[in-house]
Structure 1
Amino acid sequence: MSNPIIDQAYRRRTVLKTMLASGALPLLSSGVFSSALAADNRFAGRTLNLLIIQPHVVTGKKIAEDFEKLTGAKVNVTAVPYDQVSVKATLDFQSGAGEFDVIDYFYTYKGQLAEDGVIEDVTDLIEKDKAEIQPDDFIQTIYDQYTLHDGRRYGLPYDGDSHLLFYNKELFDRYGLKPPSTWDEYNENAKVITAAESRNGIYGAAVLGAKIPVIILSTYANRLTGFGGNFLKADGTSALDSTEAVEALKSLLASAPHALPTPLETRFEEGLPAFLSGKAAQIDFWTDLGGYAQDPKGSKIVDKWGVTRIPVGGANKTPRLAFNAGFGFAITSGSKNKDVAWELIKLATSKDYHEQLLTLTGSGIDPDRHSGLNSEKFKAFQPLVQPLLADGALENSLAWPTAVYAPKLENALTDELALALAGTKNAEQAIADAHKAWTNIIEANG
């Protein structure tokens, strides 16, 4: 059955694609990129294949068009669901097909991709092109978490993903509610609005709880960091054997009855249009939502929304963000066009281009460079969001595990969180079982 909210989101995506095709979106000035490439068009006749996640489809098309204008190289873009990009890249490499030249990789998978030989070590290339890349401009925590494995670097950051809490001011004002500073306040807000408005198809929150690591783990990570918890201890062992880990899940479970039905079926694709259409009063979501919310072509809540830091819980009084998702660009080991692939990566992750993507509605890109975060253009484009990411907020964010076995940890925790949301296990049992699974995985692979 057709869902009008989802249909609206897809229509908006179609509009953006049309704008790209027609040249309505801004292109990169040739002076920003290598003038030599722009002048001699030396990659004419060469073709690159870029594997990108679906939420980045707008930027993928823009990169393809810009890169061809500057270098003459044709870029074919393949977009896949965010939970399939690493698998597709690995199968492409293992089969020997070598279809893809550049991949848009999830940072927690970098260790596995590097060890499996799927992506190239670019440490020496970064050093060679340091003046052009300006690696010191990357937010250091993001730079290291996204690219560093065993002392070597395997890509460059492209999308510095983190979450903030967005809320509907109109609904809050209607019921005399305040932006939540604690997760208890968040749950109470959700309860009040759902009780009053669910008959109108409006709910107190959109809880992204789909059984996909990048979705449900992001939602849990916000609560884990809010309660002052961590994924791992300083020695690399599981930190899920903590009161904070259990309380974080209890808080998540408490929100489910007052959320957009149902959290286990709520992904990026359902949560975003629900909030933009005024059907969900709260959502913890990627920071580029501020751009979507102010765009009258796809939002019914222009000037009717607010944003705040991720709430705290328990004894913790210090808000802290989490690096939820987060992507880099890497050269595939099977690429037959590694020289061209590297030039594309330098373009897509460059200082000036990053600023363009940060200020493009629908790009799906969040800050990973100091220059972009603090630029006047970004401040003007995201006046409510930018201050919440500055002053060290990103540098001190909670990172997910990134060891070679990190995907196994993610899958184990995802399974337990989903069982808890389904009502099969309580919070204590689910976290205890997740901690046991993590301990076994770490010991077996450490």
Structure 2
Amino acid sequence: MTSLFDPRGRFSLSRRSLLRGAAAGAALPLASRLLPTPAFAAQKYAGESINLLIIQPHALTGKKIAEDFEAATGAKVNVTAAPYDQVGVKATLDHQSGANEFDVVDYYYAYKGQLAEDGVIRDVTDWIERDKAEIEPDDLIPTIYDTYTLHKGRRYGLPYDGDSHLLFYNRELFDRYGLKPPATWDEYTDNAKAITEAESKNGVYGAAILGAKIPIILISTFANRLTGFGGQFVNADGSSALDSDAAVGALESLVKSAPYALPTPLETAFDQGLPAFLGGKAAQIEFWTDLGGYAQDPKGSQIVDKWGVARIPLGGANKTPRLAFNAGFAFGVTGGSKKPEIAWELIKFATGRKYHGELASLTGSGIDPFRQSSLNSPEFKAFQPQVQPLLADGALEHSLALPTTANAPKLESALIDELALALAGSKSPEAAIKDAHAAWTQIIEG
């Protein structure tokens, strides 16, 4: 889903490659078995080549896609990996400069509106209709399909990585202190407090809160609480929905739990939080669903058979559990591609039913389900027996999404500034939400 950054926002590691420190493991490599490839006319594109721009955490699967696509079609795929927050900028500069080096881009769903309106990604609505027998759009989880690709009634790609958080917890620590998986955010904080007060002297904390000032990290952490409290980012008319008790309650809950988390939340990104959880040093962590595979892999986990997973907790008066789209990526044909037909064939190949099903059930791929068939397959159920039931009962159908309009990057920047101030104790949650709402209103109304 995303790359790793140090507390200053600089690229460090892929969250789906190296797990260091407390995890006491080396790399978690993509499984070596070969994936079956879809049926293509033998070497249909022999001698051709295209360029794929992909986020760093998808580099392993990008390499595999390149190998498998070349074996199936003869076309060489040159893969360029970049940190997630630089892919959109890199693709835009490539397009605006006229270089048009890239043919396919792995884009973050929240930025689809900006990329579409800038002509960086191509409208593929008609191609989807033409090729729907291959694509099988009815198999795509509708909310993911629309959130990731639909802009003003037209589609600009196909989903590649479905991304939502669940709450993972250390059963051994919970059992030691007679705790239960939290159903509410207050219970989450109580759990964190109990474990931290008893175990911090041993370097063990009640939670790892991913609070580094990076949109995909801190905003995802806030989104989990916002959805738990029953809130929204925007209203049906596109106006800011941050002026709500739910938004204030969500941020108050985050600030309340921060003292009992791995020090310090504002400096905790993937490369601090994930090894701490896998090393038994953090009792709770909100994380992408593929963590279930990593937690059971003895190559990088010290908590094999000692962990559990639950839905994102509720807050306030809300009684309806709901997930959030914490990141999420799609493949799009670039607006300036010189070989759009081959680029489209690559996208269909990489996102197809069988190929996606294989990737979703491989440790190290970092690819989470976006197809009903993959989510409900025997292979995924066996691979993620604890996670699968929490996703398969409609949880993804009503997930909270970030704004995806052309001004989404500006909205994210304004929100993360306020969230960070509140988490640092420099501003009250109520004041931070008030100021974020004002900034959003000004941006939206232009």
The equivalent of 1:266 in structure 2 is 268
**Deviates further, 189-198 or 380-389:** 189-198
Please provide the CA RMSD for this pair: 1.9
Deviations along 1:115-135, one digit per CA (max 9) or x if unpaired, are 011011111111111100001
Given residue 336 of structure 2, which amino acid in structure 1 is its aligned partner? G
1:392 to 391, 394, 406: 394
Q: Distance in 2 between matches of 1:138 and 1:258?
A: 39
2:33 to 22, 26, 31: 26
Specify whether residues 259 and 78 from structure 1 end up closer, same or farther in structure 2 by C-alpha distance, changes over 3 A only: same
Q: Distance in 1 between matches of 2:377 and 2:289?
A: 16
Matches within 5 A, 1:62-141: 62-141=64-143
Q: Distance in 1 between matches of 2:295 and 2:332?
A: 31
Q: Does the residue aligned with 1:167 lie in a helix, a strand or coil?
A: strand
Given residue 384 of structure 2, which amino acid in structure 1 is its aligned partner? Q
Deviations along 1:101-122, one digit per CA (max 9) or x if unpaired, are 1111011100000001101111
Q: Does the residue aligned with 1:35 lie in a helix, a strand or coil?
A: coil
2:146 to 132, 144, 152: 144
Q: Distance in 2 between matches of 1:43 and 1:254?
A: 57
Specify whether residues 5 and 163 from structure 1 end up closer, same or farther in structure 2 by C-alpha distance, changes over 3 A only: closer
Deviations along 1:153-185, one digit per CA (max 9) or x if unpaired, are 000011111110000001111111111000011
Structure 2: 5+ residue runs without aligned partners? Answer: 1-5, 7-11
The answer as to whether partners of 1:192 and 1:204 remain within 8 angstroms in 2 is: yes
Q: Distance in 2 between matches of 1:57 and 1:434?
A: 35
The equivalent of 2:259 in structure 1 is 257
Deviations along 1:376-433, one digit per CA (max 9) or x if unpaired, are 1111110100110112110111111111111111111011101111111110110000
**Deviates further, 173-182 or 2-11:** 2-11
1:433 to 428, 432, 435: 435
| Pairs aligned (count) | 432
Structure 1: 5+ residue runs without aligned partners? Answer: none
The equivalent of 1:35 in structure 2 is 40
Q: How far is the alpha carbon of 1:11 from its aligned partner? A: 6.4
Deviations along 1:297-328, one digit per CA (max 9) or x if unpaired, are 11111110000000001111221101110110
Deviations along 1:242-299, one digit per CA (max 9) or x if unpaired, are 0110010000111111111111111122222221111111001111111111111111
Q: Distance in 2 between matches of 1:307 and 1:233?
A: 31
Specify whether residues 63 and 7 from structure 1 end up closer, same or farther in structure 2 by C-alpha distance, changes over 3 A only: farther
Q: How far is the alpha carbon of 1:34 from its aligned partner? A: 3.2
The equivalent of 2:223 in structure 1 is 221
TM-score, normalized by length of structure 2? Answer: 0.93
Displacement over 4 Å in runs of 4+ = 1-5, 7-11
Q: Distance in 2 between matches of 1:67 and 1:5?
A: 29
The equivalent of 1:6 in structure 2 is 20
Q: Does the residue aligned with 2:398 lie in a helix, a strand or coil?
A: coil
Given residue 40 of structure 2, which amino acid in structure 1 is its aligned partner? S
Q: Distance in 1 between matches of 2:62 and 2:271?
A: 18
Q: Distance in 1 between matches of 2:22 and 2:439?
A: 41
TM-score, normalized by length of structure 1? Answer: 0.93
**Deviates further, 271-280 or 126-135:** 271-280
1:355 to 354, 357, 368: 357
Q: How far is the alpha carbon of 1:7 from its aligned partner? A: 5.4
The equivalent of 2:9 in structure 1 is none
The equivalent of 1:286 in structure 2 is 288
Q: How far is the alpha carbon of 1:53 from its aligned partner? A: 1.4
The equivalent of 1:296 in structure 2 is 298
Q: Distance in 2 between matches of 1:97 and 1:199?
A: 56
Specify whether residues 210 and 156 from structure 1 end up closer, same or farther in structure 2 by C-alpha distance, changes over 3 A only: same
Given residue 240 of structure 1, which amino acid in structure 2 is its aligned partner? L
**Deviates further, 1-10 or 141-150:** 1-10
Q: Distance in 2 between matches of 1:205 and 1:60?
A: 33
Q: Distance in 1 between matches of 2:22 and 2:47?
A: 38
The answer as to whether partners of 1:8 and 1:298 remain within 8 angstroms in 2 is: no
Q: Distance in 1 between matches of 2:68 and 2:32?
A: 11
The equivalent of 1:376 in structure 2 is 378
The equivalent of 2:181 in structure 1 is 179
Specify whether residues 252 and 353 from structure 1 end up closer, same or farther in structure 2 by C-alpha distance, changes over 3 A only: same
**Deviates further, 80-89 or 185-194:** 80-89
Matches within 5 A, 1:234-249: 234-249=236-251
The answer as to whether partners of 1:44 and 1:73 remain within 8 angstroms in 2 is: yes
The equivalent of 1:414 in structure 2 is 416
Q: Distance in 2 between matches of 1:270 and 1:76?
A: 32
Deviations along 1:43-92, one digit per CA (max 9) or x if unpaired, are 22222221111222221121111111111222222222222211111111
Q: Does the residue aligned with 1:83 lie in a helix, a strand or coil?
A: helix
The answer as to whether partners of 1:5 and 1:274 remain within 8 angstroms in 2 is: no
The answer as to whether partners of 2:23 and 2:279 remain within 8 angstroms in 1 is: no
Given residue 272 of structure 1, which amino acid in structure 2 is its aligned partner? L
The answer as to whether partners of 1:111 and 1:149 remain within 8 angstroms in 2 is: yes
The equivalent of 1:341 in structure 2 is 343
Specify whether residues 134 and 9 from structure 1 end up closer, same or farther in structure 2 by C-alpha distance, changes over 3 A only: farther
Q: Does the residue aligned with 1:142 lie in a helix, a strand or coil?
A: helix
The answer as to whether partners of 1:5 and 1:277 remain within 8 angstroms in 2 is: no
Q: Distance in 1 between matches of 2:23 and 2:36?
A: 30
Q: Does the residue aligned with 2:396 lie in a helix, a strand or coil?
A: coil
Q: Distance in 2 between matches of 1:153 and 1:301?
A: 42
Deviations along 1:191-218, one digit per CA (max 9) or x if unpaired, are 1111121122211111111111111111
The answer as to whether partners of 1:208 and 1:263 remain within 8 angstroms in 2 is: yes
Q: How far is the alpha carbon of 1:5 from its aligned partner? A: 6.1
Given residue 98 of structure 1, which amino acid in structure 2 is its aligned partner? N
